[in-house]
Amino acid sequence: MDALSASRACKNCNNPFNGNFCPECGQKFIDKRITLRHSLSHLFQSLTNIDRGLWATSWLMFRNPGKVIRDFIRGVTVPYFHPFRFVFFWLTLQVLFFVSTGFYEKIQKNVNDQMGTTPNTSPAMDSFMHIYYSYMNIFMLLALPAMAFGSWLVFRKKGYNYAEHLVIGAYMYGAISLMSLILSPFMIVSIEHFGIAAFFTMPLTFIYQTYVYRSLFPQNWVILFFKSLFSFTVFMIGFMLVITIVLLIYLSSLTPEDLKGLAPAGAA
């Protein structure tokens, strides 16, 4: 009777229960009024899901990525940030930073200056480039299945299925996005020497991928590096395919006048 009298009714489904969460619908028991402090705390947790280990997962993806991935795949999910939320969070933060600082436009201007060319773009193409830069995180997410496919091809004898390689790719590329975000101030400062900076930073992607694969599949480092390079190449092919599809959809939405504006100067 004491246990029953201590139980409370769920505010969502009226099921009597003990504890903090209703076993029927999962509703959390809340007996406090909403305050500004609570609302701000809830907003921050919703954005970062910090109670599910964003920072711990980020740190472990550099310290021991194999443990994070193996644990999640075998069902130990509570200590870790979900892989698809993980890659979305860091990739979005990376793209927002680069867009807000005008990084992409500065790179294009720098390339044009070095080649001695003057860009000849139309409002329609400018609009597409704005879409490309603003939603690059979505485009890269849509290309992740290609990375998983490349990874599955070269490691298909290791016992992981395609869906599990999606988890591997999501965690891995989330950490790569975080790494890129950490290095971004250096990239922006050295924008005039972007080619040299990219020459030194791009290999970090392959080295990190090799490190992650090594923590999962003990093999020769050289072999793993080339397998990493293959999966990244498949990923880039998938990314270009996504961009091509989006461009075709965008072009199909233009009027004949807009399409004429895309033609090079002097074209008939």
Q: Which residues pair with 145 in a beta bridge?
A: none
Question: How far is Cα 69 from Cα 221, in angstroms, rounded to an integer?
Answer: 19
* Residues in the chain, total: 268
What pLDDT sits at residue 4?
42
pTM: 0.73
What pLDDT sits at residue 185?
72
Write out the E strands in the chain. 8-9, 16-17
91 Cβ contact list (under 8 Å, min separation 6): 137, 140, 141, 173, 174, 177
Three-class DSSP category at 19: coil
| Ordered mean pLDDT values, 10 residues apiece, the chain (268 residues) | 56 78 76 63 56 82 94 87 90 82 64 55 71 82 92 90 93 91 71 57 82 90 89 91 90 72 49
